[in-house]
Amino acid sequence: QLQLQESGPGLVKPSETLSLTCTVSGGSISSSSYYWGWIRQPPGKGLEWIGSIYYSGSTYYNPSLKSRVTISVDTSKNQFSLRVSSVTAADTAVYYCASLSIAASQTFDYWGQGTLVTVSS
Amino acid sequence: DIQMTQSPSSLSASVGDRVTITCRASQSISSYLNWYQQKPGKAPKLLIYAASSLQSGVPSRFSGSGSGTDFTLTISSLQLEDFATYYCQQSYSTPNTFGQGTKLEIK
């Protein structure tokens, strides 16, 4: 069973870059059965898909964030990462990483526990 | 973007009740519809994928149906642990989009 764990700073200053890493265990990030994704949830609000990546490096981003987001993968470390540039208070959210099962209609089947990132000076 | 609209936004029910939550897509998404349960402070948990397939380990009181634009999640007999917020999500096209959520509360 896959396990995912987010890591990174919990506080980021406005205009700076948010950086998070997701470490995958219990399976290989190079599996052809999965994409890997980032989803966020502002406090008290709903879920927003940020983007996804395949182990080959192919990426898909939400157009609403595309100009500020970069997702990358490090197969040697079984990790994938998220960078969001020029952050504002609106980027304050719990950030989740998740696996997307290709066989199960690209469903987010395993999730990390989430990490709260606050944008504040 | 495909808009996902859930109804109701909140719902009060009692243990043992049968509950139905509806999700409507702004355009046809075939059966690319998934349901998640989220409890406070926790990550969402996959319940149903491809509109009607029960995720492994999820109790059989949960079921999903629908195709095209209209979908439902049904809980046949509510248990105490089912009180949570439920989200639908389309995986037909990017950007993947979620419904706004339905909060299921104890009556």
> CB within 8 A of B76, min separation 6: which ones?
B18, B61, B62, B63
Residue-wise pLDDT tens digits, B6-55: 999 999 999 999 999 999 999 999 999 999 999 999 999 999 999 999 99
Could you tell me if A44 lies within 8 Å of chain B, comparing CB atoms? no
What pLDDT score was predicted for residue B48?
97
> CB within 8 A of B44, min separation 6: which ones?
A47, A96, A108, A111, B36, B37, B38, B87
For residue B94, give Cα distances in angstroms to A10, A14, A59, B6, B32: 28, 28, 11, 19, 12
Q: Are B82 and B15 in contact (CB under 8 A)?
A: no
What pLDDT score was predicted for residue A104?
80
Residue with tokens 């540039």, as numbered in its chain:
A85
Secondary structure (H, E, C), A26-46: CCCCCCCCEEEEEEEECCCCC
Residue-level pLDDT, tens digit, chain A, 121 residues: 999 999 999 999 999 999 999 999 999 999 999 999 999 999 999 999 999 999 999 999 999 999 999 999 999 999 999 999 999 999 999 999 999 998 888 899 999 999 999 999 9
Q: How far is B80 from chain A (nearest CA, A)?
A: 22
CB atoms within 10 A of CB A120: 9
Q: Do A64 and B95 touch (CB under 8 A)?
A: yes
CB atoms within 10 A of CB A87: 18
Q: What's the CA gap between B89 and B99, in Å, rounded?
A: 6
Quick one: average pLDDT of B81-105?
96
Q: Do B45 and A111 touch (CB under 8 A)?
A: yes
Q: What is the DSSP letter of A83?
A: E
Q: Which of B42, B55, B98 sits opposite A46 (nearest CB)?
A: B98
Q: Dig out the tokens for A118 from the structure.
A: 């606050």
Q: What is the mean pLDDT of chain A?
A: 96
Residue-wise pLDDT tens digits, A45-56: 999 999 999 999
What pLDDT score was predicted for residue A106?
85
Residue with tokens 């999965």, as numbered in its chain:
A34
Q: How far is A121 from chain B (nearest CA, A)?
A: 25
Q: Do A105 and B34 touch (CB under 8 A)?
A: yes
Q: How far is A72 from chain B (nearest CA, A)?
A: 18
Name the 3-class secondary structure at B100.
coil
What pLDDT score was predicted for residue A103?
85
Torsion of CA A100, A71, B87, B28, to 10 degrees: -70
Q: Do B43 and A111 touch (CB under 8 A)?
A: yes
Q: Are B102 and A50 in contact (CB under 8 A)?
A: no
Q: Which of A96, A104, A106 sits opposite B43 (nearest CB)?
A: A96
Secondary structure (H, E, C), B12-61: EECCCCCEEEEEEECCCCCCCEEEEEECCCCCCEEEEECCCEECCCCCCC
Residue from B96, B98, B100, B102 to probe the interface with A (highest A Cβ count within 10 Å) = B96
Q: How far is A111 from chain B (nearest CA, A)?
A: 7
pLDDT band of B100, cuts 50, 70, 90: very high
Taking contacts as CB-CB distances below 8 angstroms, the residues of chain B near A96 are 43-44
